[in-house]
Amino acid sequence: MTDHNLSLMAHLMRRAGFGASRDELEQRTATGYEATVDELLNPEGQEPVDIYEFLRYYPLWWKPGTMGGLGHAPWVWRMINTKAPLQEKLCLFYHQLFATGVAKVDHYDEIEDMIDSFREQGLGRYKDLLMAVAQSPAMIYWLDNHENHADSVNENWGRELLELFTMGVGNYTETDVRECSRAFTGWTLKHKLPRFHMGRWDWEYEFRPDDHDFGEKSFLGHKGDFDGEQIIDIILEKPATAAFIARHLYSFFVADEPQVPAWSVTPPNDPEAVQFIADALMESDYHIGTVLKKIFNSDFFKEARFTRVKTPTEVVIGTLRLVEDTARPAPETMSWASQIGFMGQELLNPPSVEGWHSGIEWINSGTLMKRTNFTAEMISDRSRPGVAKIIDRIKSSGSKPEDVVDACLDVMGPLTIPDESRAELLDHARNLGDFDWDDERPGQGGETKLTEILQLVVSLREYQFA
């Protein structure tokens, strides 16, 4: 029987990370749930991934500029190997929230810098993140703030700051959008001196007082000569902002919600939980680490198992961490990074500023096929160390069909599936005959049959959920 504490730990690691091997889950369960939450929230205690190890093997991936498809492989390498998985998971959260893509920015290096700032500040105060994003050259270019001038206001950044990054539609007027945008005039970017005579120049943030509108602004009931930072302070005072960020946190860490554009007209699935998160945001002055601790330790989080469709990144990274193929920077890292894109989530290139549509919208016949094939191929490859461990563990739990099916479900999750699905797996296992672990004939021995059951388990509908 699966240990309840271990199931809970597996849930925490799927949400606060990318899943974990059974060995890791057992260690963490022994350490305890709340202690593990604390460890996840304090990444500075972990040895960081040495990104230069990857770049020594694949120097082309350093500062790829505009070269298509190169930008996200180093990040994928970090996600596979990190000992501080929540840190990388938060990068993914903010990348979804502050969705910025090479489709327009056309400069991987700048978006990678933005992801780095998420890694450094992700557990800190939301205000600092907003300031970093407002002064990120990638974001400035993505939302045209370099075209936002004292004498001709461009509202793109100002509007999205209110609509997508803080308050949500319905909590401000068109005048507020205008006044907010005025406060960010002159927040622009410039080129740094180039490193090489060819290739993309680096960008950096620049404030140009001569292009800033210092006049009085009237914003959300306040009047004054506000600049961007003061605008952000006013925004964060509003309960609507806390409620909106709470919903983002809920839909990413707790359970699937409707798509963001529907939020102004569709109430949350669990209004009490979202209110709880909103209160925690207000009480902590939007300290994300503090709020996440409250979420992970809450009952609604612990009960929300398998209520989110895995993102493509979770599918690929979760599988790779499970099969433990991380001994050195594999050339396959690039193809793994591409796989995430083939499943519909090309990192550093979200389809729009709204980010990716998530939940059930990840799934179509093409992406479902890619998810299933990728996972089934990995889990059937005994040469990967994690797979060998999984197989040995299942073998040790018995050789009757019931033993094997239940051990597969246990070690691959532990997964809870409807009786009908379990009955199908059991029927399949029985038809295969005895699982004779001493029978090592290629293609028909006990282990081959076991692999067939594992492939069916990862093909289950239920396996698409985290």
Q: Judged by CB under 8 A, which of 376, 390, 405, 408 binds other proteins?
A: 376
User: If binding is defined by CB under 8 A, does position 60 make contact with other proteins?
Assistant: no
Helix (H, G, I), strand (E, B) or coil at 98: coil
Residue nearer to other proteins on the CB measure, 346 or 410: 346
Could you tell me the sign of the dihedral formed by the alpha carbons of 229, 230, 231, 233, in that order? positive
Count of residues in contact with other proteins, rule CB under 8 A: 45
User: If binding is defined by CB under 8 A, does position 338 make contact with other proteins?
Assistant: yes
Closest approach of other proteins to the CB of residue 284, in Å? 33
Binding mask 404-423 for other proteins (x = CB under 8 A): --------------x-xx--
* DSSP code at position 270: S
Cβ atoms of 97 and 355 closer than 8 Å:
yes
Q: Judged by CB under 8 A, which of 39, 116, 128, 424 binds other proteins?
A: 424
Q: Which two tokens stand for residue 379?
A: 């889990």
Q: Which residues of 389-405 are buried (b: 16+ CB within 10 A; e: fewer)?
A: bbbeebbeeeeebebbb
Closest approach of other proteins to the CB of residue 5, in Å? 27
What is the rounded distance in angstroms from the CA atom of residue 91 to the CA atom of residue 88?
5
What is the rounded distance in angstroms from the CA atom of residue 384 to the CA atom of residue 208?
55
Q: Judged by CB under 8 A, which of 352, 430, 434, 440 binds other proteins?
A: 352
Q: Judged by CB under 8 A, which of 32, 224, 271, 366 binds other proteins?
A: 366
Q: Which residues partner with 191 through β-bridges?
A: 203
* DSSP code at position 165: I
Helix (H, G, I), strand (E, B) or coil at 152: strand
**What is the Rg, in whole angstroms, of the alpha carbon atoms belonging to the chain?**
24
User: If binding is defined by CB under 8 A, does position 341 make contact with other proteins?
Assistant: yes
Contact positions with other proteins (CB under 8 A) in 89-108? 101-104, 106
Q: Which two tokens stand for residue 281?
A: 């945001």
**Looking at 13-21, 79-87, 206-214, 373-381, which segment touches other proteins (CB under 8 A)?**
373-381
**Looking at 19-27, 359-367, 394-402, 434-442, which segment touches other proteins (CB under 8 A)?**
359-367
Q: Judged by CB under 8 A, which of 369, 400, 434, 439 binds other proteins?
A: 369
User: If binding is defined by CB under 8 A, does position 373 make contact with other proteins?
Assistant: yes
Closest approach of other proteins to the CB of residue 98, in Å? 15
Closest approach of other proteins to the CB of residue 219, in Å? 26
What H or E segment, with its residue span, contains residue 206? strand 203-207
* DSSP code at position 331: T
Closest approach of other proteins to the CB of residue 83, in Å? 31
Most distant pair of Cα atoms in the chain: their distance:
83
Integer angstrom CA distances of residue 288 from 129, 248, 294, 297: 10, 12, 10, 14
Residue nearer to other proteins on the CB measure, 69 or 289: 69
Closest approach of other proteins to the CB of residue 105, in Å? 9
Residues 6+ apart with CB under 8 A from 12: 33, 36, 37, 40, 296
**Looking at 172-180, 187-195, 213-221, 366-374, which segment touches other proteins (CB under 8 A)?**
366-374
What is the rounded distance in angstroms from the CA atom of residue 115 to the CA atom of residue 105?
14
Residue nearer to other proteins on the CB measure, 284 or 367: 367
- Interface contacts to other proteins, rule CB under 8 A: 66, 68, 101-104, 106, 309, 338, 341-342, 344, 346, 349, 351-353, 360-361, 363-370, 372-373, 376-377, 380, 418, 420-421, 424, 428, 443, 452, 455-456, 459-461, 464
